[in-house]
Structure 1
């Protein structure tokens, strides 16, 4: 019989509690971006002191959520971009891979417009740059429109995916196909091509 050191078990328990708080925070803030630490603690089944023990302030919690999102979305983008397909096809692959978790991070768009906007904007920089580079590649190859700079166009197309992911939780779900086609249309892809690319997804 192998005995697990008490400190190791305690550290594991603390990490599990921290992860649970983060998971719950995404749901709570997704429903109400103005929710406080007490609301998150109650939903996680812990006392406020426990939440503050892991995250000294609400900003620390939001920063950690954003860092987690950046790590996950960067990995998703790398997988989608691995084939170096045409830019519009790469975009579709990215959205397809992102969609299952898009609703989890939609709250960042709302929080980005609030008091933590500057902090979130800075942390999301790597994802913003990856998408802007992809759109610029598409503009250079003629598959994306050039009426806006790549960084602005990419944010518009990216934002609509989260908007649709948010509405997908309503009584009338819209779905990944609609998000894909709409974002491609914003990027300037002809409707017939956008529909064909979306319908190629399994």
Structure 2
């Protein structure tokens, strides 16, 4: 007979598998339903609904997971004390492996769950804006837009490249890094050198 801890572990593993599969399914089709997620996860719909009572609950849990990962990286990178442009490069390098997977949240942010997702992503938006503002204060980043908007434009480029055929491989990460730095106003020679690991 399974123990309480083994049952809990199995339940958590099933929940995590559903979340992983949901990211892939929604990434392919942001309008996919709970039945699509259940089928892809190899479970019945009742199991998915047992963990996530509604599609909104599922999407918000995915958002919370993304926010947790991204805020941890941003906080750590910004605390390292590097120049803002070098900190941005480190952030992109560390986020790139999951950027393609979480890109669906931006699509869903523009849909029916927009307000709820926007609220959860607030801490990430604030940290990105803070990093860009730090770069503007030290004249590393351009001043043509407020930090909050400029950070969203620059990160939007990263997401767009993550959503393209360039998503796989080093060329995509390099393109995302260089292009986002250019959007932030970093000179091309400096952006290229930073992307190549030669600050």
TM bracket (short chain): over 0.9
* Alpha carbons 1:80, 1:97 under 8 Å: kept: no
Note closer, same or farther for the CA distance 1:170–1:181 as it changes in structure 2 (3 Å cut). closer
Look up the SS of the partner of 1:114 in the other structure. Answer: coil
Task: Name segments (4+ residues, structure 1) moved above 3 Å.
Answer: 168-174
Aligned residue among 75, 80, 84 for 2:77:
80
Note closer, same or farther for the CA distance 1:173–1:148 as it changes in structure 2 (3 Å cut). same
* Alpha carbons 2:63, 2:120 under 8 Å: kept: yes
Q: How does 1:38-49 map to 2 (within 5 A)?
A: 38-49=35-46
Match status 1:147 vs 2:144: yes
Aligned to 1:194: 191
Structure 1: gaps (5+ residues): none
Structure 2: gaps (5+ residues): none
What is the CA deviation profile of residues 47-98 of structure 1, one whole-angstrom value per residue up to 9, with x for unaligned ones?
Answer: 1110000000000000000000011111111232232111111101110111
Look up the SS of the partner of 1:175 in the other structure. Answer: helix
| Alpha-carbon distance between aligned partners in 1 of 2:99 and 2:165, rounded to the nearest angstrom | 10
Note closer, same or farther for the CA distance 1:170–1:122 as it changes in structure 2 (3 Å cut). closer
Moved more, 164-173 or 27-36: 164-173
Match status 1:97 vs 2:84: no
Residue correspondences, number: 198
| Alpha-carbon distance between aligned partners in 2 of 1:164 and 1:53, rounded to the nearest angstrom | 35
* Alpha carbons 2:30, 2:104 under 8 Å: kept: yes
* Alpha carbons 2:154, 2:183 under 8 Å: kept: yes
Aligned to 1:107: 104
* Alpha carbons 2:52, 2:58 under 8 Å: kept: yes
Aligned to 1:182: 179
Match status 1:157 vs 2:154: yes
* TM-score with structure 2 setting the length: 0.94
| Alpha-carbon distance between aligned partners in 2 of 1:85 and 1:192, rounded to the nearest angstrom | 19
| Alpha-carbon distance between aligned partners in 2 of 1:37 and 1:138, rounded to the nearest angstrom | 42
* Alpha carbons 2:56, 2:113 under 8 Å: kept: yes
Note closer, same or farther for the CA distance 1:154–1:44 as it changes in structure 2 (3 Å cut). same
| Alpha-carbon distance between aligned partners in 2 of 1:170 and 1:135, rounded to the nearest angstrom | 24
What is the CA deviation profile of residues 14-70 of structure 1, one whole-angstrom value per residue up to 9, with x for unaligned ones?
Answer: 111000000000000001100000000000000111000000000000000000001
| Alpha-carbon distance between aligned partners in 2 of 1:172 and 1:194, rounded to the nearest angstrom | 19
Moved more, 169-178 or 116-125: 169-178
| Alpha-carbon distance between aligned partners in 2 of 1:190 and 1:172, rounded to the nearest angstrom | 24
| Alpha-carbon distance between aligned partners in 2 of 1:169 and 1:36, rounded to the nearest angstrom | 28
| Alpha-carbon distance between aligned partners in 2 of 1:73 and 1:162, rounded to the nearest angstrom | 13
